[in-house]
Amino acid sequence: MPNPIRVVVPIDSMDPESWNYAVGYVQKIASEASPAVTDVILLTHTKDVLTRSSLAGFIGAAPAKALAKGTRVGFGSGATLRHETLRTLGYSARNAVVIAFYADDAMLEKIDGLRDLTAVVAVPDFEDSIDKWRHRWNPNVHGEAQAPAAPLIADPVVVKALETITALCNMSHGMLIQRDKDHASENLRILRAKGHALDAETIKSWAISKGWHPGAADDLGKVADKISRLKTKPSISGFYEPEARYARWKS
């Protein structure tokens, strides 16, 4: 399985079985993980779901109350369970499994930026709430056989150009510095001038899948979106060796 492990529990989040299966997957992952899982994070959009939603009933009144107060509760196998929201979640999740409850693509994109995560188990808010994330990672889905992963970008020339951008940009921070934006823009303009389609969302998702910080990937997507919206093909005559670059991407 990939690292981190990614699992989807596509059971109605109003059904207690959604929580039961999520916990079961976490326990299985924890029993097999090395190093051991010591931290289980229940991630929701807001804290009030611990007192005003069906999730509180699934967890149990006493544990839900403790979590709402910021107290860790026992989870078994030496791990503890804590609650976080998108606002309070930090940047590192060493030896941790995240249960993303009422998950959507925005929540899971935040998780994609965590360092040292062991696994994420996602219970989507609605059936199509995490379609972008599922397409990005091809996760294990409860009750479904895992199909071979389809490439995010079918055009190999675009992929090679993006690999060039990746090699020369600092993509580990939450945003691209101007130099890196300029470098990305120049290469993407060459692609646009040569007639290649630039889908901003797909490029962003590809970048995240290749280890870009989601914030930096979002910046790259915005650059691609701006160039894709140009009414005419951009001029590349002032760039350094644009034809040689393009030839390398095509080879």
* pLDDT tens by residue, the chain, 251 residues: 458 999 999 999 999 999 999 999 999 999 999 999 999 999 999 999 999 999 999 999 999 999 999 999 999 878 999 999 999 999 889 999 999 999 999 999 999 999 999 999 999 999 899 999 999 999 999 999 988 989 999 999 999 999 999 999 999 889 999 999 999 999 999 999 999 999 999 999 999 999 999 999 999 999 999 999 999 999 999 999 999 999 999 99
Distance separating alpha carbons of residues 185 and 179, to the nearest angstrom: 10
Concatenated DSSP letters for 141-163? ETTSPPPPPPPS---HHHHHHHH
Instruction: Say which residue the tokens 């056989």 belong to.
Output: 145
The answer to whether the CB of 59 falls within 8 A of the CB of 50 is yes
- DSSP-derived pairing of the beta strands 39-44 and 92-103: parallel
Concatenated DSSP letters for 163-221? HHHHHHS--SSSS--HHHHHHHHHHHHHHHHTT----HHHHHHHHHHTT--HHHHHHHH
Comparing CA positions, the residue from 139, 143, 136 lying closest to residue 121 is 139
Distance separating alpha carbons of residues 215 and 128, to the nearest angstrom: 23
Cβ burial 44-56 (10 Å sphere, 16+ → b, else e): bbebebbeebebb
Q: Please tell me the predicted confidence (pLDDT) of residue 2.
A: 53
Q: Please tell me the predicted confidence (pLDDT) of residue 146.
A: 87
Tokens of 169: 């940009």
Q: Please tell me the predicted confidence (pLDDT) of residue 1.
A: 41
Write the CATH number of the domain with boundaries 5-141: 3.40.50
Residues sharing a CB contact under 8 Å with residue 38, sequence separation 6 or more, in sequence order: 78, 79, 80, 95, 96
Question: Which residues, in sequence order, are bridge partners of residue 73?
Answer: 81
Q: Please tell me the predicted confidence (pLDDT) of residue 78.
A: 87
Q: Where in the chain is the domain with CATH 1.20.1290.30?
A: 156-250
Q: Give Rg (Cα) of the chain.
A: 21
Query: What does pTM read for this prediction?
Result: 0.94
Distance separating alpha carbons of residues 68 and 42, to the nearest angstrom: 11
DSSP assignment letter at 90: -
Write the CATH number of the domain with boundaries 156-250: 1.20.1290.30
Tokens of 203: 């490029």
Q: Where in the chain is the domain with CATH 3.40.50?
A: 5-141
Distance separating alpha carbons of residues 36 and 77, to the nearest angstrom: 9
